[in-house]
Amino acid sequence: MDRRLTPANGRVAFQGMEVPPPGVRLVPGQNMRITQPVVDLCAAPAGARDKQMLLGQGFTMLDIHDGWAFGFDPVDDYVGYLPQEVIAQAESPTHRLAVRQSHIYPQPDFKSREMASLSFLSELEVVGEVGRFAELASGGFVPLQHVEPLSWVAADAVTVAESFLGTPYLWGGNCGSGIDCSGLVQLALWAAGRACPRDSDMQESLGADIDGALQRGDLLFWKGHVAMVVDENRIIHANAHHMAVAYEGIDAAIIRIEAQGDGPVIARRRL
C-alpha cells in the first residue's frame, strides 16, 4: 500500500478503509481545520515534509500521540502528521484567498501592521465587510479584492499557475512563498475546479494520453517532475534549475532535463 494514501499507522486506521490492517483500532476520524497560515504535513512525527497545508483547510484527524496529530487531507486523501497545536475544531469557512499572497490586518486599514501572511486557497470565515476589507470570524481583516466565495472557480488553470511566476522553488511547498512542481499543478487545477492528487507520479493518471500537438493546459511528465503547457512553444513549471516558477521552451526543457540525467518525457496528458 502507498503510505501517502493509507490512513493507518501502528495505532489506528480510518474505518472508511476498504481493507483495514489487522490489530489496530478503527476510528471514524474527527473533522478539524488548520489554524496557522502554513504548516508542513510530515511523513512521520517531526519527519520530512511531504506537502504543506494552509489556514482554514480541513484535516481529518485519526489519532494524537506525543503532540502529533495523525490523519489526512480530505481533499486529496494525503496522509501524514501535523503538530497537534496547529489544528482545532474551527469555524466553517465561507471564502478562499484568490490571489497568490495577502495579509491579515488587525484593523480595516492597509497602513496597520499586518498580523499574518496568507497564501492562495487559504480558507476563511468572513462575517462582514468594513470598507474595502472582509472581516474574519477569527479576528482581523483581509482586502476584499483578495477573497472570493468558496464556490469561486478560476477560468483557466494556466493563468493561475502564471500568477506564481517567480515564486521560489521549495520541495513539498504548496504556498505563495515556496512551491514545487506538483504543488503548482495541484493548486492550479484545484482553483479551476478539477480534482488533482498531490505528487507528480499520482498526477500521471490524470486525463488521457496525447498523440498530437500539445495545447494550453496539457501536462508533461518526467520521472519525478511535471510541467504545464502554456502554448505550443512554452511550459511553466516550478523547478530546481531556475529555483523558481518559470517559463521554459518545451524543446529546450526536454533537452536540458535529459542532459542533466533525469531522462526523457514519460507521459503527455490532456485533462
Q: List, for residues 180-210, the tens digit of each pLDDT value.
A: 999 999 999 999 999 999 999 999 999 999 9
* Mean pLDDT for the stretch of residues 3-20: 95
What's the total number of domains in the chain?
3
**155 vs 218: CA distance, rounded Å:** 15
Residues whose CB is less than 8 angstroms from the CB of residue 153 and which lie 6 or more positions away in sequence, other chains included? 191, 192, 193
Query: Of the residues 108, 126, 149, which one is the last residue of a structural domain?
Result: 149
**Residues 29-61 pLDDT 10s:** 999 999 999 999 999 999 999 999 999 999 999
Contact 110, 102 (CB under 8 A): no
Residue 90 pLDDT greater than 90, yes or no? no
- Residue 159: predicted pLDDT: 98
Q: Are residues 82 and 105 in the same domain?
A: no
Q: Are residues 71 and 100 in the same domain?
A: no
CATH of the domain at 119: 2.30.30.40
Q: Are residues 83 and 112 in the same domain?
A: no
Contact 221, 268 (CB under 8 A): yes
Average pLDDT, the chain: 97
Q: Are residues 111 and 161 in the same domain?
A: no
**Percent share of the chain, pLDDT over 70:** 100
- Residue 11: predicted pLDDT: 95
- Kindly report the length of the chain: 271
Q: Are residues 145 and 77 in the same domain?
A: no
Q: Are residues 72 and 113 in the same domain?
A: no
Q: What angle do CA 38, 167, 155 make, to 5 degrees?
A: 85
Query: Of the residues 51, 66, 88, which one is the last residue of a structural domain?
Result: 88
* Mean pLDDT for the stretch of residues 112-140: 97
Q: Are residues 162 and 264 in the same domain?
A: yes
* Mean pLDDT for the stretch of residues 96-118: 98
| Backbone torsions φ then ψ of 186, nearest 5 degrees | -60, -50
Residue 91 pLDDT greater than 80, yes or no? no
Q: Are residues 140 and 164 in the same domain?
A: no
Residue 102 pLDDT greater than 80, yes or no? yes
**125 vs 95: CA distance, rounded Å:** 6
**175 vs 164: CA distance, rounded Å:** 9
DSSP string, 60-126: EEEEEETTEEEEE-TTT--EEEEEGGGEE--PPP-EEE-SSEEEEBSSS-TTSPPSEEEETT-EE-E
- Residue 1: predicted pLDDT: 85
Q: Are residues 16 and 103 in the same domain?
A: no
Residue 240 pLDDT greater than 90, yes or no? yes
- Residue 217: predicted pLDDT: 98
**Residue 231: which domain range?**
157-270
Query: Of the residues 40, 66, 88, which one is the last residue of a structural domain?
Result: 88
Q: Are residues 266 and 161 in the same domain?
A: yes
* Mean pLDDT for the stretch of residues 224-249: 98
Residue 79 pLDDT greater than 80, yes or no? yes
Q: Which helix (H) or strand (E) holds 237?
A: strand 234-239
User: Residue 21 in 3-state DSSP?
Assistant: coil
* Mean pLDDT for the stretch of residues 66-77: 98
**Residues 166-183 pLDDT 10s:** 999 999 999 999 999 999
Q: Are residues 247 and 178 in the same domain?
A: yes
**199 vs 185: CA distance, rounded Å:** 9
Q: Are residues 103 and 29 in the same domain?
A: no
CATH of the domain at 174: 3.90.1720.10
